[in-house]
Chains A and B, each alone.
Chain A
Amino acid sequence: MRGIRVVLIQNDGVARTIDNAAIGVSLMEVGRAEGVDGILGDCGGGCSCATCHVYVDAEWQQRVGPPDDVEIATLDMVSHLQQSNSRLCCQIVLTPELDGLKVTVAPAE
């Protein structure tokens, strides 16, 4: 299956466009594999470390959806960086509907 396009904007302002991101994997795995700055993914997608924190672009927020309770609890651990469009991108599984998805990587601290 053909992949989708996702864009992650790093803290240095550089937009990293990944053109052939595989369907069914998480945005964290894609970002980590491509070495996107700030996508560390320490816990490997276990929703426990908050080192894959992104802000979802306004126009994509609805399609990406809100975090669930477990993710909300982990986001609270970085409440100093949290915004209304915060997501842990290991919990965003790529689907064909997310083709074009754009997010900004949250600052480290």
Chain B
Amino acid sequence: MDSKQAGHCPVTGHGQTPLADMTLSNPKIGAQPNAYYQAMRVEDPVHYDEKLGMWLVSRYDDIVTVLRDPLTYSDKHGYAAQYASGFFQEFKAILERDGGGFFPDAIKDDPPAHTRVRRLLDKAFTAHRVATLEPGITAIITRLIEQLADKAANGQVVDGVNDFAIPLTISVICEQLGISQFNSGKIQRWSSAVTAQIGRMQNREQMLDNAAQICDLQNFIIAEMKARETEPREDMISDLVHATLDDGSKLTFAEAVSLIRALIIAGNDTTATAIGNLLFVLATRPEVATALQASVDDERLMNRFVEELLRIEPPVRGLAKMTTREIELGGRLLPKDAHLLVLYASGNDDETQFTCPRNFDLNRSNIGKHVAFGVGVHRCVGASLSRMEIKVAAREVVRRLADIKLAVPVEQIRYQPTVAVRSIERLPLTFTRR
């Protein structure tokens, strides 16, 4: 049924690939995973990836089942088993020695402990609050685009990821947190180092490098917190340092460090990836560029454009959960302590939910049904903020730039070696000013 259905779609991007011997930890598959996802959904929806030692959850319905039952499918244990996999004790000792301590992620806990801190973060980026940030975000983005346009006008190739998307998301989150002096390259290295801990593809040498980066990050956070302990400012770090939770308690020091770290890191690579994908899609799919051009003055269509971009190219592809008891999922009996990788990207590609999933279609009636931000109690707290950043970037890029083209053959575009995200490493582009 699926291949027949796909046969009627102008864009399929699927294909029959045998599941045997495939693993998401193979960088080739990780870079072009859709055929693998589809094969899993059809042949073996909860598929054991030997090499990763994880069960890959590939169907939309099963993904939602997992995410809606956080006590059976534990985020805390799934994350802990993924974190610094293979080197955890050594990694932890380094952080304790050089990084002020090992601070487990308070937000990656299970209810009810999760609920306590989550209510605090829920208030940080409501859609209404983010709407008030639009002018400031627009100013950051137009400044960056103008710089790029100058560079391109001089005949230089521009890197859409490292010269644009990454500095953009870093500036936005630093402004929110109240970090006025920052080195964007440094924050990018910190982000990569943290993200690598759930990527499953670092060797020991890389782990040592990454651990050193994370120590640096934590020492930076601790200094920022100390500066606000006696003299609070009007910013989010101060809010977290001084927060009182709904139950009247305060955050512990360790919790506060972990939450600030999460806010710096969780939104950078992810939103930057989405904006890199935006530029990639504009450079490679003329029909999408045309659709965006036609939508640019229509708020509703712009919002839909962002959702469809996140559906078709979700930055976060797979995060871990762990079963806390024996349970049947997708026709498969999983033991207790089964380590799962929830494939948001495959859920968004599921043809039983999204007609012709590889088509970019702004008019989908269920456009918000995608799981790029997850579902349930752990649904992304930064969704509104990242949507705004992507929307403004899309609008200002289309208004100001034309003839966006890849400066290298598409086969040369490489993706970060990690199972957690699908992120373009470098995106050489040429374009002109409109």
Partner of B122 from A43, A70, A73, A74 at Cβ < 8 Å:
A43
How many A-B residue pairs lie within 8 Å, measured between CB atoms? 64
Q: Contact: A50 with B125, CB < 8 Å?
A: no
Q: Contact: B375 with A42, CB < 8 Å?
A: yes
Instruction: Give the distance in Å from the alpha carbon of A69 to the alpha carbon of B134 in the complex.
Output: 14
Write the chain A residue with the least CB distance to B376.
A42
The residues of B that contact A61 with a CB separation of less than 8 Å are none
Chain A contact patch, size range: 20 to 34
Write the chain A residue with the least CB distance to B387.
A48
Q: Contact: A48 with B303, CB < 8 Å?
A: no
Instruction: Give the distance in Å from the alpha carbon of A80 to the alpha carbon of B363 in the complex.
Output: 11
| Interface bits B99-127 vs A (CB < 8 Å: 1, else 0) | 00000000000000000001100110111
Partner of A46 from B125, B300, B307 at Cβ < 8 Å:
B125
Partner of A70 from B128, B304, B383 at Cβ < 8 Å:
B128
A31-69 contacts to B (CB < 8 Å): 40, 42-50, 69
The smallest beta-carbon distance between B310 and chain A, in angstroms, is 11
A84 CB-CB contact with B under 8 Å: no
The residues of A that contact B307 with a CB separation of less than 8 Å are 77
Q: Contact: B127 with A76, CB < 8 Å?
A: no
If A43-B122, A49-B383, A73-B300 touch, does A79 touch B127 (CB 8 Å cutoff)?
no
A97 CB-CB contact with B under 8 Å: no
A70-86 contacts to B (CB < 8 Å): 70-71, 73-74, 76-80
Instruction: Give the distance in Å from the alpha carbon of A80 to the alpha carbon of B355 in the complex.
Output: 14
B365 CB-CB contact with A under 8 Å: yes
The residues of B that contact A45 with a CB separation of less than 8 Å are 122, 126
If A44-B119, A49-B383, A73-B300 touch, does A80 touch B366 (CB 8 Å cutoff)?
yes
Write the chain B residue with the least CB distance to A78.
B368
On A, residues with C-beta under 8 Å from B are 40, 42-50, 69-71, 73-74, 76-80, 109
**Additional A-B contact list (13), CB under 8 Å, known A47-B384, A73-B299, A73-B300:** A42-B379, A43-B122, A45-B126, A46-B123, A46-B125, A48-B383, A49-B379, A69-B299, A70-B131, A71-B127, A74-B127, A78-B369, A79-B367
On B, residues with C-beta under 8 Å from A are 118-119, 122-123, 125-128, 131, 299-300, 303-304, 307, 365-369, 375-377, 379, 381, 383-384, 387
| Complex A-B: 7 CB contacts under 8 Å | A43-B379, A44-B118, A46-B126, A47-B127, A48-B127, A74-B127, A76-B367
